[in-house]
Chains A and B, each alone.
Chain A
Amino acid sequence: MIKSRAGWSHRALMLLLMVYLLLPLAATLLYGFAKQWQTTVMPESWTLEWFGEMFRDLRFLEALWTSLYLCAISVALSLAVMLPAVFVITVYLPKWETFMKGIVVLPYAVPGVVAAVGLIRAYSGGPIDIAGTAYILIGAYFIVVLPYMYQGIRNSLITVSAVELLHSAELLGASRKRAFVTVILPNIWPGVIISTLLSFSVLFGEFVLTNMLVGGHIQTIQVYLYRRVGESGHLASAIAITYFLFILALSTVLMKLGKKMNGVAEK
């Protein structure tokens, strides 16, 4: 009895919504390929010049590389720290779960600007002077992805009923460490990869902390884009679209993985 009950009014509303949401994207895309575009609905002539210029621009490639490795390091760090922590809390100290949840949700409620204010105050001057360096940024990134990593790891642990798995592995004679490495890790891996990728895409789009903490010293792709907006609109379009396509590819992988995992879970 499941059929589409969507009448024409619903279809019209959805169409309108999609046009509204996709219009800025489409405009940016077209602008990136446009040579001449004034006072017409579509560009008058096309060119690949802007994309070419972008890839010839050393600063773009540098910024891209900086973004990639900063995000990768932060996510890897987060993974290394969060995996054991969430595991210990979920499996051995369930009483502390609410407390941990509270800490982990905090970055979601505290805006980036506020976090930046605190970080700058705490780490410029004083005993640990790391303001303006990559260290402070990686620390800040670690906090930004806390909610995503925590939720992802915890959900995976719960879906695979980690506690029961661990107990049965131990009854079969495996040590705890062995049980964690051989039984728990392989089972939660797909879920963990998803939250890793999600965290990566969040960090890739991060602007406020980067700009405020290290803006003058380190250029990520977002900061670079911000700098270029003022110079050439077309070039900035090409950068924005490239950035967007990258994020899109990442989310597609993310979704495919998620679907695959749900499929496995349903079996």
Chain B
Amino acid sequence: MKQRNRWMLLGLVPFVVMVLAFQLAPIASMLAGSVRGPGGSGITFGHYVKIFESAYYLKAIKNSLLISFYSSLIGIVVGLACAYSITRFTPKIRDRLLMLSNMTSNFAGVPLAFAYIILLGNNGIFTLLFKEWGWDVFAGFNLYSWTGLVLVYVYFQVPLALLLLYPSFYGIRDQWKEAAMLLGARPWQFWRTVGLPMLTPAIFGTLGILFANAMGAYATAYALVGGNYNLLAIRIGSLVTGDVANQPELGSALAVLLAVSTIAAVILNHWMSKRSQRFTAAHASSGRASGQRRASRAKPWRAVKKEAGA
């Protein structure tokens, strides 16, 4: 038995080699690079210090954090409303709607940026139309600015939020609403006291995924504003591929900071989904667990694609 099992281990060898070579080694190399001293010897935290002393890089970090935060927040609010709505339809219509929204999530990255340029760019259809019609409310709008970026980011955050959030609405059982109503609660009182608290883990968990998604998003911003807008991901890209000055150590340090933020956000999601599983496990034991209600809680990375090319 032992002998045979040893043979089985051979099946793992290619996997281990590939992961070591293309995942762990690069990460190690990046970590090492970020603390590499001048001239390639010794250990220094100078690169990190430099980042935190540089108004330019701090600005990039701040921009990235802000844009991720706002686009996630808007994404979650819109996603929440839409997720609730979508659970009110019959499963057949619901699946069609989800399919459509999921389909659009393939339209991310470069093509998405491009579509928005067609719509709202300097010579975009809407831009020209609004000018023609004299709607000057939109005259101040600039797609290549912060508001424009938020707008485009929100576009790929909403379907993601919708997809991650809608199953948890099936965890809110109709009988809780009925019980609350009979006890004298109005619908908004029910949502405040029971509904939203029940959704909280899912909301924060999704927020984590959205945040990580926006922090790491590169293709959309790159295609939309090129190197002109100061975002962390864009900064890292230009430092490493070196359009101007090649500073791989500094790029590595920035990349480590970015990875720390996204990993933290994904860990937040993991904790939160554990919490909500505790809740749902409790439902299952209370009374008949109806299979249809417990919509599949597939792991997010199974069902969901991130911003394409992010």
Contact = CB atoms under 8 A, between A and B. Distances in A.
**A touches B (Cβ under 8 A):** yes
Interface string A28-47: 10010000011111000000
B145 to A, nearest CB: 18
A151 to B, nearest CB: 4
B199 to A, nearest CB: 18
B284 interface: no
Given A143-B23, A229-B223, A240-B115, A248 B110 contact: no
Interface in A83-98: 84-85, 87-89, 92
A114 B216 contact: yes
A226 B128 CA distance: 24
Given A81-B15, A255-B99, A4 B251 contact: no
B9 interface: yes
A196 B124 CA distance: 38
B12 A244 contact: no
A17 B308 contact: no
B112 interface: yes
A77 to B, nearest CB: 8
Nearest to A107: B23
Contact of B240 (A22, A106, A116): A116
Contacts of A80: 14
Interface in B279-310: 299, 301-302, 305-306, 308-310
Interface string A1-22: 0111111011001100110111
B262 A110 contact: yes
B158 interface: yes
B219 interface: yes
Given A114-B258, A229-B117, A85 B103 contact: no
B22 A139 contact: yes
A112 B109 CA distance: 12
A13 B85 contact: yes
A48 interface: no
Nearest to A139: B22
Contacts of A81: 14-15, 18
A11 B128 CA distance: 31
A103 B19 CA distance: 8
B212 interface: yes
Interface centre among B25, B155, B259 (most CB of A within 10 A): B259
B299 A244 contact: no
B115 A21 contact: no
Given A106-B23, A140-B22, A27 B309 contact: no
Contact of A240 (B78, B111, B256): B111
Interface centre among B21, B81, B215 (most CB of A within 10 A): B21
A115 B263 CA distance: 13
B22 A142 contact: yes
B233 interface: yes
A112 B310 contact: yes
A251 B106 contact: yes
Interface stretch (B46-54, B88-96, B178-186, B190-198): B88-96
B100 A21 contact: yes
Interface centre among A39, A111, A120 (most CB of B within 10 A): A111
B259 A114 contact: yes
B108 A118 contact: no
B82 interface: yes
B301 A108 contact: yes
Contacts of B308: 202, 205-207
Given A111-B217, A112-B216, A225-B110, 5 more contacts: A81-B15, A87-B11, A109-B265, A113-B237, A118-B252
12 contacts: A13-B81, A39-B128, A82-B15, A84-B15, A85-B11, A109-B212, A117-B248, A118-B25, A207-B219, A209-B309, A212-B237, A212-B241
Nearest 5 CB-CB pairs, A to B? A111-B216, A118-B26, A207-B309, A84-B11, A205-B308
